[in-house]
Structure 1
Amino acid sequence: MTDLRTEIPDFQSIMLPMLKLLANGESKTINEVVKSLATHYNLTDEHLKIKVPSGQMGLFRNRVGWTRSYLKKAGLIKYPERGVYQITDEGKGYLAQNPNKLRMKQLEQFPKYQEWRQTFSEPSAKEKVISRTEEQTPEEVLAATVLELKNELATELLDKLKENSFAYFEKFVIELLQKMGYGEFREESSQHTGQTGDQGIDGIISQDRLGLETVYIQAKRFSNNSVGSPDIRNFIGSLALQGVSKGVFLTTSKFSTSAIQTAIDSKQQKIVLIDGKELTDLAIEYNLGVQVDKTIEIKKMDLDYFEE
């Protein structure tokens, strides 16, 4: 008897057909994409009824979802709105080369994919193949899978923070700091020192109930640009004018090498830098903007039970 599961293409095989499906530049919903790709691969209703091991999603739809995710990481497609996909100029440029395949190895040529991989410390396609073909224990495979899923969640969370408004990002940062156990927090988004070039203070953390010990924060929601040394110097200047010695600078992007060094060199003010990667790690750790999807129980023998 034929195992229909083996007839469902893997997510890498779906990459090029999916990109070609979007080639005309029109936006398509996830349902339209899944339906068109199912037709492309001659998949029947029986194929589409096959679920992932958890039973919560169709296997083919799940693989299309991973395909979509990696194409977006490479900058070949974008999401103009939730659940809707559209090809980018980079995607059109790649198709113009008449490629005969598109897999993880080919994605490594795209700067946006390289940046994403560096941000989340993802191994290259070759390293992934090597690691998954070595003799690994089930625990090692499980740990690697959990990490990959966490990185995927972090990527989606960071994209959402970059899409939303500056005001929303500041609100997110406020709530995150509260969840991390800091004391009373009062929003001070409109407070500025009034000095030329001053970037203002986005919030004040009162570390004790009386507000005797305070930490000032700055939140920068950047889509592409990294935070540079001038931004840190401006923040240090704001702290100095307020007579405050502690500050936290959070961003959705990265800090340049010079920005990091500027924070380190600051003697009077202690500056903590939190980039996009650490920001999403903290959000996931403190369950802000995320929720538990499923819990897997791993059981082992209770040897004490069998003691006579």
Structure 2
Amino acid sequence: MIKIPLYPEYSRTIELLKIIEGINTQDFKNMWNTVWGLRGTPQNTVDWKDPDSWIYERLDGKDKEIALKIWLESNKKVNPRWTRGDQFLMSGYKLIEEVKGVYLLTEIGKIFVSSIQNEVIKQIDLEEGLIQILVQLSLLNKGKRSDLLEDWEEYTRNNSNLKQDSVIKDYLRRRLVNLIDRKYVKREGNIYSITDKGISYLEKVNKNNPKPILNKETELNKLIDQFTVEQRQILKNYLKETTPYQFEHIIRDLLTSMGYDEVEVTSSTNDKGVDVTGISQNGITTVKEVIQVKRMLTSNVNRTVLDSLRGSLHRFDAFQGTIITLSDFAKGAKEAAFEKGAAPITLINGEKLIDLLLQYEIGIKRKTFRYYIVDENYFNNEDENVD
């Protein structure tokens, strides 16, 4: 049953548990109440991310002593002001108890702090939906947080008392942060994916769990994902074999499907470093854009290419540009793409290009695979109107 709000990173909770064991419980509670009651003003703002400043400026006596102990003994990883989630977890799963006025780890707590992967953590992961998130990511391969939300909302409806959409979203976000901290999930920009370590952990949990998590539906979806990965590689191989002329026309078809108007391939008639032009819709404004297509296979596109394209924008009365390549971009090109005061240049590498071709179905065909599963909740719900 999902119940812990402000879900913390376990590494931080473990640090906090080790530090407060043996501390007088009332002293800790007094410190926490004092710290949480602190407020800044417009005239005297406080950077709560910097305990090195506000602990010394705002606290004294025992409050200051305990706050410093938490901050310094955790190697400045545990901010004494931001431990509410840790406290919810510690009390919710009885990781610590009060004995003769001081905090002591329970037997469960001792197991929890013993390693980053143990039976207590595994059980908490099951109860709090972290295993559910790993299962969803294993099926999704990679995606945005919004791609996880539909199944996560259904799971929370059946396994928690959560009602508000904003709260459900926050529970998902904080649990993803926990999984990222443990290297089970990787985040690149706004895209999440399960790591090999995450898959290994998921399989281990499934093997030792009396109620299997990875069922036939999971395996079926994994096979579909594997097939899709194979097709992505086949598509990329085809693109590598195209001529520059063919590649430019593929990009033309893609831009047209993306909603660009007046898309023209120009490279055969100009030598200005521009291969395709088009007009994109940006809100209520139409913007002329020039696109350079680099079918490079062995080296990354460097900043020189970007500067050259940016310098040619005025010849086409364009305000922005795009560079598309099958390879990737050098660090200098990435840093200069949205340079302050300069025309923006969008960079699309090989992986992003494949994503777009799949999304807009250029050079591929979308297939629908239909299957049926029994709705267990339908049979478990009792209808009060039935005699």
Q: TM-score, normalised by structure 1?
A: 0.50
SS of residue paired to 2:261: coil
Q: Kindly tell me: are residues 243 and 127 of structure 1, through their superposed partners in 2, closer, same or farther at Cα, counting changes over 3 Å?
A: same
Contact kept? 2:260, 2:278, Cα under 8 Å: yes
Q: Structure 1 residue 274: deviation in Å?
A: 0.7
Q: Kindly tell me: are residues 127 and 303 of structure 1, through their superposed partners in 2, closer, same or farther at Cα, counting changes over 3 Å?
A: closer
Q: How many residues align?
A: 181
Q: Structure 1 residue 248: deviation in Å?
A: 1.4
CA distance in 2, matches of 1:133, 1:180: 43
Which of residues 236, 245, 266 in structure 2 aligns to 1:188? 266
Alignment-derived partner of residue 243 in structure 1? 317
Q: Kindly tell me: are residues 191 and 216 of structure 1, through their superposed partners in 2, closer, same or farther at Cα, counting changes over 3 Å?
A: farther
Contact kept? 1:154, 1:277, Cα under 8 Å: no
Contact kept? 1:244, 1:269, Cα under 8 Å: no
Q: Which has the larger radius of gyration?
A: 2
Q: Structure 1 residue 185: deviation in Å?
A: 1.7
Q: Aligned Cα RMSD in Å?
A: 3.3
CA distance in 2, matches of 1:143, 1:266: 44
- Is 2:373 aligned against 1:296? no
Counterparts of residues 79-158 of structure 1 (less than 5 Å): 131-135=202-206, 136-138=213-215, 140-158=218-236
Which of residues 251, 263, 277 in structure 1 aligns to 2:351? 277
Alignment-derived partner of residue 278 in structure 2? 205
Q: Kindly tell me: are residues 134 and 295 of structure 1, through their superposed partners in 2, closer, same or farther at Cα, counting changes over 3 Å?
A: same
- Is 2:239 aligned against 1:161? yes
Overall identity of the aligned pairs, in %: 24
Residues 185-236 of structure 1 deviation map (CA, whole Å, 9 limit, x = unaligned): 22222343x6xxx5x211111236xx96311111110121111111111111
- Is 2:256 aligned against 1:178? yes
CA distance in 1, matches of 2:219, 2:276: 42
SS of residue paired to 1:207: strand
CA distance in 2, matches of 1:266, 1:166: 32
- Is 2:368 aligned against 1:258? no
Alignment-derived partner of residue 17 in structure 2? none
Q: Kindly tell me: are residues 294 and 243 of structure 1, through their superposed partners in 2, closer, same or farther at Cα, counting changes over 3 Å?
A: closer
Residues 281-303 of structure 1 deviation map (CA, whole Å, 9 limit, x = unaligned): 11111111112355132334394
Alignment-derived partner of residue 300 in structure 2? 226
CA distance in 1, matches of 2:237, 2:231: 10
Contact kept? 2:329, 2:349, Cα under 8 Å: yes
Alignment-derived partner of residue 268 in structure 1? 342
Q: Structure 1 residue 184: deviation in Å?
A: 3.0
SS of residue paired to 2:296: coil
CA distance in 2, matches of 1:122, 1:168: 35
Residues 95-138 of structure 1 deviation map (CA, whole Å, 9 limit, x = unaligned): xxxxxxxxxxxxxxxxxxxxxxxxxx8955x7755554541433
Residues 75-112 of structure 1 deviation map (CA, whole Å, 9 limit, x = unaligned): xxxxxxxxxxxxxxxxxxxxxxxxxxxxxxxxxxxxxx
Contact kept? 1:191, 1:202, Cα under 8 Å: no
CA distance in 2, matches of 1:243, 1:292: 37
Q: Structure 1 residue 266: deviation in Å?
A: 5.6
CA distance in 2, matches of 1:306, 1:185: 59
Residues 219-271 of structure 1 deviation map (CA, whole Å, 9 limit, x = unaligned): 11012111111111111111144332111111111111111111121633111
CA distance in 1, matches of 2:232, 2:287: 32
CA distance in 1, matches of 2:370, 2:268: 46
CA distance in 2, matches of 1:170, 1:227: 17
Contact kept? 1:250, 1:274, Cα under 8 Å: yes
SS of residue paired to 2:323: strand
Q: Kindly tell me: are residues 122 and 257 of structure 1, through their superposed partners in 2, closer, same or farther at Cα, counting changes over 3 Å?
A: farther
Contact kept? 2:338, 2:345, Cα under 8 Å: yes
Q: Kindly tell me: are residues 255 and 295 of structure 1, through their superposed partners in 2, closer, same or farther at Cα, counting changes over 3 Å?
A: same
CA distance in 2, matches of 1:277, 1:142: 25
Contact kept? 2:248, 2:265, Cα under 8 Å: no
SS of residue paired to 1:217: strand
Q: What stretches of structure 1 of length at least 5 have no aligned partner?
A: 1-120
CA distance in 2, matches of 1:294, 1:190: 39
Letter of the 1:217 counterpart: I
CA distance in 2, matches of 1:239, 1:137: 53
Q: Kindly tell me: are residues 122 and 230 of structure 1, through their superposed partners in 2, closer, same or farther at Cα, counting changes over 3 Å?
A: farther
Letter of the 2:323 counterpart: F
Q: What stretches of structure 2 of length at least 5 have no aligned partner?
A: 1-192, 207-212
